[in-house]
Amino acid sequence: MTNVLICGGAGTLGSGLSRLFIDKGYNVSLLDIVRVDEAWKLSDVNVRDKVEYLWKSTVDITEKDLDGMDIVVDCGLAVADRPEGTLSPEHTLLGNVLPPLHLLKIVKEMKKKPVIIYPSSFNARYGHKVNTILTEETFPLPSTQYGWTKGAVELLYQAYHRGHGVPVVIVVVGSGYGPRMRSDELVGRYILHTLQDKKEFKLRSPEAKRLWSYADDFLSFYDKLTDNVEAYNGMVLNCAGNKGDRIVTNTELANMINGIAEKKGFKPISIAPMPYEAGEMIDGKPIDFGVDSSKTRQLLKWEPKFTLEEGLSATMDWFSKNLDRYR
């Protein structure tokens, strides 16, 4: 039986992966600093009674926790330096860089090393000039503190892979959304504003672009990846996109949500453009890029199945059913 440890297992990606891996017949352990009784995302996917839950951070992990593991998914704390989140560069550094460093120091000394899967982010590449096509070979070039930490950890994992033989697969993801997503992310915040009948949404970085990827497409990617994870050791793979690979501005996204809300009987809300966040302008222009993930898709024989509209509609339905959790 395949043994898997998920760091950050109570989060959106971790809880979804838990369900996926259990359904694949894996033995699943979760590690997080959210009390299990408060980790409602695990209840939402009905896995709490089927996993071993370790109440600790990745920086507290021991070799005993890793003994016998075949795969470790490092999707732990990923602090983003957004204005309505943390404003502390030091906290961003401590939360994003030190935990994987601690994990790697232990794994490098192990005789039987697990394969580490690290979900990184295109945020680590937004510093490239406008209209750059981002591929699996595109070197990290961040424009924000958060992007810097994600890119730094990518390079840290690659260094331990090359220097110490630690098996690593880096997965670069687009802007994820879907059921159980964080309510401080753009899609979640906008949908909640709509469902709570608020009149206006203050939209930062209105013309900056994002490639949004639906949660079920993420999970189908990890399903393919973990079928034969050793085959991708040392690789960088792009888990990103939607059906048609539509890249939209934040304003276009907000208007799409307004249109979907109207079809469901909700009132659309007005959009108040706000200043650009630090790093959202490159050479005086809003972030704009293309993505070519053909290498990954050919290797895994995987591609996104959901259009942006389909994913947004399903996400709104989920938030509507769970609105009481956000009162």
Mean pLDDT of the chain: 93
Does position 293 have pLDDT exceeding 60, yes or no? yes
pLDDT score recorded for residue 147: 87
Structural domains for the chain: 3-181+211-243+289-306 (3.40.50.720)
Share of the chain above pLDDT 90, in %: 82
Residue 107: left if φ>0, alpha if ψ -120 to 50, beta else—which one? Answer: alpha
Q: Is the pLDDT of residue 142 over 90?
A: yes
If DSSP codes are grouped into helix, strand and coil, which group holds residue 105? helix
DSSP code at position 132 = E
Q: Is the pLDDT of residue 68 over 80?
A: yes
Q: What is the pLDDT of residues 188-209, one digit of tens each?
A: 999 999 999 999 999 999 999 9
State the pLDDT at residue 87.
59
Contact 248, 210 (CB under 8 A): yes
Strand spans (E) along the chain: 3-7, 27-32, 52-55, 71-74, 115-121, 132-134, 168-173, 175-177, 200-203, 209-214, 236-239, 247-249, 270-273, 281-282, 285-286, 289-291
Please determine, for residue 220, whether its predicted confidence score (pLDDT) is greater than 50.
Answer: yes
Written in H, E and C, the secondary structure of 229-274 is: HHHHCCCEEEECCCCCCCEEEHHHHHHHHHHHHHHCCCCCCEEEEC
Over residues 39-55, the pLDDT tens digits come to: 999 999 999 899 999 99
